[in-house]
Structure 1
Amino acid sequence: MTQVLRILAFAVLALGLMAASPARAQFQEGTHYERIDGPATADDDVIEVVEVFSYMCPHCRNFQPYVTPWEKDLPEGVTFRRVPVSFNRSWEPFARAYVTADVLDISDQSHDALFTAIHDERRPFRTIEDLAEFHSQFGVETAQFESTAESFPVEAAMRKSVADLGKWGVRSTPTLVIDGKWRVSPRRGGTFEEMLEVADYLIERERADAAPAEAADS
Structure 2
Amino acid sequence: KIEVIEFFWYGCPHCNAFEPTLDAWQKKLPADVLFRRVPVAFRDEPYGTHQRIYYALETMGLIPTMHRKVFYAIHGERQRLDKAPEIAAFMAKNGVDSAKFLEVFNSFSVQTKARQARQLSAAYKIDGVPALGVQGRYFTSGSMAGTNEAALSVVDFLVQKVRKSG
Fold similarity call, TM over 0.5: yes
Deviations 1:171-214 (Å, cap 9, x if unpaired)?
1100111011101112268111101000100001111112xxxx
Aligned-residue CA RMSD (Å): 1.5
Q: 1:76-155 counterparts in 2 under 5 A?
A: 76-88=31-43, 89-155=45-111
Aligned residues: 165
- State the SS of the aligned residue for 1:51: strand
Matched, 1:61 2:16: yes
Letter in 1 for 2:37: R
Alignment counterpart, residue 117 of structure 2, candidates 150, 161, 174: 161
Task: Name which one, 1 or 2, has greater alpha-carbon Rg.
Answer: 1
Q: Distance in 1 between matches of 2:80 and 2:158?
A: 39
Deviations 1:63-113 (Å, cap 9, x if unpaired)?
111101101111111011111011122222111101110011101111111
Q: 1:164-179 counterparts in 2 under 5 A?
A: 164-179=120-135
For normalisation by structure 2, the TM-score amounts to 0.93
Deviations 1:118-146 (Å, cap 9, x if unpaired)?
11222343313312322234543111111
The equivalent of 1:197 in structure 2 is: 153
Unaligned runs of 5+ in 1: 1-45, 211-218
- State the SS of the aligned residue for 2:115: helix
- Is 1:52–1:85's contact at 8 Å kept on the other side of the alignment? yes
Alignment counterpart, residue 3 of structure 2, candidates 48, 51, 60: 48
Q: Distance in 2 between matches of 1:126 and 1:140?
A: 17
Q: Distance in 1 between matches of 2:108 and 2:73?
A: 28
Aligned-pair identity in percent equals 33
